[in-house]
Amino acid sequence: MLLLIPLLPFLGFVVNAFLGRRLSKSISGGLACGAIIAAFGVAVVSVLRMLGDPAGALQQDVFTWIASGRVNVPFSLRLDHLSALMILVVTGIGSLIHVYSTGYMHDETDGEYARYFSYLNLFASFMLVLVLGANFPVMFVGWEGVGLCSYLLIGFWFRKQSAADAGKKAFVVNRIGDFGFVLGMLLIFATFGTFDFQQVAAAADGRGIEHGLGVMTIATLLLFLGATGKSAQIPLYVWLPDAMEGPTPVSALIHAATMVTAGVYMIGRNAVLFSHAPTTLAVVAAVGVATALMAGTIGLVQNDIKRVLAYSTVSQLGYMFLAMGVGAYAAGIFHLYTHAFFKALLFLGSGAVIHALAGEQDLRNMGGLKKYLPVTYWTFLIGALAIAGIPLLSGFFSKDEILFRTYTSTNSSAKLLWTIGAITSLLTATYMFRLVFLAFHGERRHEAPAAPAHPEEEEPAAHAAHAAHGHADHIHDAPPSMAIPLIVLAIGSVVAGYVGVPHALGGSNRIESFLEPSFEVSESARRTQTLGAEATPAAPEGVRAASLERQEQAGEAAEHGSSEELMLMAISSGIAIAGILIAAYFWLRNRPAADAMARRMHGAYNLLLHKYYVDEIYDAAIVQPIKIISTSGLWRGVDAGLIDGAVNGLGQTIRAGSGGLRRVQTGSVRTYAASLFLGVVLILGWYLLRS
């Protein structure tokens, strides 16, 4: 049953990949959508069955994958509360994006269209394997799979150099992270002797909290390196903004439903392990909040509509890691879930804008689109309000939960983390509404006075047809296949947060209690653990004490915190509104002020516009040295010098030796006869003398 969930999109991929060329667009698109929607159906049924199950989890051992000595890895899928939420997000949001894509990609040729949908299906399939995997190797299959699919989809228009480069960049950067993930995974196996998440959790629990730099800390740090690659955190976030070269629905898929959530999910999945390594958690929180702030500031000045959204994703992911880092796993996953709605909405909305403007992505060439694109405008506005954290929309609840949990966390610099988080929240509101005002309000601008930073990213073929009926005289709003997902996502962006209404507002924070079991050691795993290792009888008590303590803390927090939480909530709502007002002042009322500001702080502005020159620094510090080492060291030195030298040298030695030896061939019969005779004498003599 569980296997069907990733298998259905995979079948869609197989059919489209092998027969896609011969299928018409409506068939290949319909097939892909059908596959993912069916997977959504199966996911819903499975989740309902899981909730009815007394154990609170479903497990399916599909087959024994690796059985070799001590290593025994079954290909197991496991559905618990955490993965239930994830599969619903992946298949649900994924379905909407598939449907949207049928409209967005309609100008591609049949073959390309089928190729696109086969990749999309494969992407969803691998993501489902990732979230359903019951042990590290199975998760790793999905982990690598989504990396591959992101490469394929970002470089979908591979005839365009920048798209091909961006795909390559995403792949290479992800590989660096994956390297850490593999090392972490193997270290965990070497330490605990198991790959299974639950058994790892139980074993980690038996060890007690580890301070300093022990084996669990190193393993979790390595896993976190993997997470920074997938989830675009410092230092490996650089691929995500470039990933905007892909088709817009792909960006939506990568940013909302698949791929970037993998890192956050992985930490949530190993919550017990991470909880036992406080050093790692501090690193996670610091990296998260730094990324959030950095990406937020960059987002403030970018001119490409999709790039702003990309940095906004990086920034929101930073929030999620901040939540993970302060131990508020449920809050992080909650934000992941609400973020999926509004970020998908924002990307699809920006896709509708780009589609309507025949491929135009530069904000400076937009403006006044509100009256041409009413559906897009209103849905986009809802998404922007949600991400800004305006009260009663989904983003408000999740972001607030994170900030509150940060504020009350035991982290030694909790207040600093909270302050940076709050500043980032101000930035979020500002850059989102800058986007809204520049794109949808004001006058329609055709050509930017300055040469656009990203001159008409011509998406080959895709928008060529649109260019014909593109410009202002005939801007059309999203067709139904694109409008319906937008509307559904807009509704989702409004209501998705109500599963997590905090106690302070009279809610019950249902999502937290729903997810809680996934962040603890399950009973069955603990039982096998205690059976297996009777040497640590203290462990279960410790565990019970810890969980009791946790419950107490939660209760305390509920009592103590409620007034504090209300105050924080008011502050962050105020911040969000202030952010919007700032944006309104600069980009709606008084645009020259924004330009004047940019001129006055021209150093800072340039720094942000060039994204802190991180790409340039990486290029100078890493890419160029590698190139130099590869070119002059490995290529000219080792390959051409050493290896080719050895091969050629051998040839030359033999040639020279033979040149000498062939002088023996004198042509004189008598010499030959003499050497023959001498040889016979020598051989016979040797035999005679030997005996």
Partner 1 sequence: MVSLNHYLVLSGILFAIGTAGVFLRRNLITVLLSVEIMLNAVNLTFVAVGRYLNTVDGQIITFFVMTVAAAEAAVGLALVISLFRHRETLNPDAFTVLRW
> Contact positions toward partner 1, by CB under 8 A?
662-663, 665-670, 673-674, 677
The Cα 489–Cα 376 span in angstroms is: 12
CB of 654 to partner 1, least distance (A): 16
CB of 686 to partner 1, least distance (A): 19
The Cα 78–Cα 593 span in angstroms is: 55
- Write the secondary structure of 644-665 as one string of H (helix), E (strand) and C (coil): HHHHHHHHHHHHHHHHHHHHHC
Which amino acid is located at 157 in the chain?
W
Q: Which lies closer to partner 1 via its Cβ, residue 599 or residue 663?
A: 663
**Are 31 and 23 a contacting pair, CB within 8 Å?**
yes
CB of 649 to partner 1, least distance (A): 24
Q: Which lies closer to partner 1 via its Cβ, residue 64 or residue 666?
A: 666
CB of 677 to partner 1, least distance (A): 7
- Where b means 16+ CB within 10 Å and e means fewer, 326-349 reads bbbbbbbbbbbbbbbbbbbbbbbb
The Cα 96–Cα 484 span in angstroms is: 8
CB of 632 to partner 1, least distance (A): 42
**Are 212 and 218 a contacting pair, CB within 8 Å?**
no
The Cα 358–Cα 373 span in angstroms is: 14
End-to-end CA distance of the chain: 82
**Are 20 and 114 a contacting pair, CB within 8 Å?**
yes
Q: Look-up: residue for tokens 């049928």? A: 102
CB of 658 to partner 1, least distance (A): 10
Q: Which lies closer to partner 1 via its Cβ, residue 643 or residue 674?
A: 674
Q: Which lies closer to partner 1 via its Cβ, residue 585 or residue 672?
A: 672
CB of 672 to partner 1, least distance (A): 10
Give bridge partners of residue 66 from the DSSP assignment.
Answer: 73
Q: Which lies closer to partner 1 via its Cβ, residue 468 or residue 673?
A: 673
Q: Which lies closer to partner 1 via its Cβ, residue 599 or residue 662?
A: 662
CB of 650 to partner 1, least distance (A): 22
Q: Which lies closer to partner 1 via its Cβ, residue 461 or residue 674?
A: 674
Q: Which lies closer to partner 1 via its Cβ, residue 537 or residue 659?
A: 659
Could you tell me the two tokens for 366?
Answer: 């937009």
Q: Which lies closer to partner 1 via its Cβ, residue 213 or residue 674?
A: 674
**Are 609 and 302 a contacting pair, CB within 8 Å?**
yes
CB of 681 to partner 1, least distance (A): 10
The Cα 673–Cα 656 span in angstroms is: 26
Angle made by CA atoms 266, 200, 230, in degrees to the nearest 5: 15
Q: Look-up: residue for tokens 């559904």? A: 488
**Are 507 and 400 a contacting pair, CB within 8 Å?**
no
The Cα 130–Cα 6 span in angstroms is: 9
CB of 626 to partner 1, least distance (A): 51
Q: Which lies closer to partner 1 via its Cβ, residue 63 or residue 687?
A: 687
**Are 37 and 152 a contacting pair, CB within 8 Å?**
no
The Cα 592–Cα 583 span in angstroms is: 13
Q: Look-up: residue for tokens 């296949």? A: 481
Q: Which lies closer to partner 1 via its Cβ, residue 531 or residue 669?
A: 669
CB of 635 to partner 1, least distance (A): 39
DSSP sequence for 537-595: THHHHHHHHHHHHHHHHHHHHHHHHHHHHHHHHHHHHHHHHHHHHHHHIIIII-HHHHH
CB of 633 to partner 1, least distance (A): 43
Q: Which lies closer to partner 1 via its Cβ, residue 70 or residue 663?
A: 663
Residues shown for the chain: 691
**Are 265 and 86 a contacting pair, CB within 8 Å?**
yes
